[in-house]
Amino acid sequence: VSYRAADFEALRCDIAFAVTNPNRVGGRVDGYDMKLVVDGVTIADGKVNQALDLGPGQTTTFVVPAVVKWSEVADRITKRRSIPND
């Protein structure tokens, strides 16, 4: 994860993923739709037009830009908080 910017609304960062192609045949992906959800909070979604070349027996790294909105994180934490029944 590399951080790009942060303010009172959100954290903007880039998340790198590694994809390993164990096959003897390579492939190419011209683009993809993606949605990255962590603990019920969507931090990245959309269409990526970046091509990925998946060489045979090779690992390819690609980067997904992500935005973590503080309001969504706070909402998620609030929902998980346990309140005693005393």
Mean pLDDT of 3-13: 91
Cα dist from 38 to 35, 60, 66, whole Å: 10, 23, 11
pLDDT of residue 58: 95
User: Which pTM does this prediction carry?
Assistant: 0.65
Which pair of structure tokens corresponds to residue 53?
């070349």
pLDDT in tens, 19-77: 999 999 999 989 888 888 887 777 777 788 888 899 999 999 988 888 888 888 888 77
User: What is the sign of the dihedral through the CA atoms of 58, 25, 46 and 49?
Assistant: positive
3-state SS class at 9:
coil
The number of beta carbons lying within 10 Å of the beta carbon of residue 66 is 19
How far is it, in rounded angstroms, from Cα 13 to Cα 8? 15
pLDDT of residue 8: 92
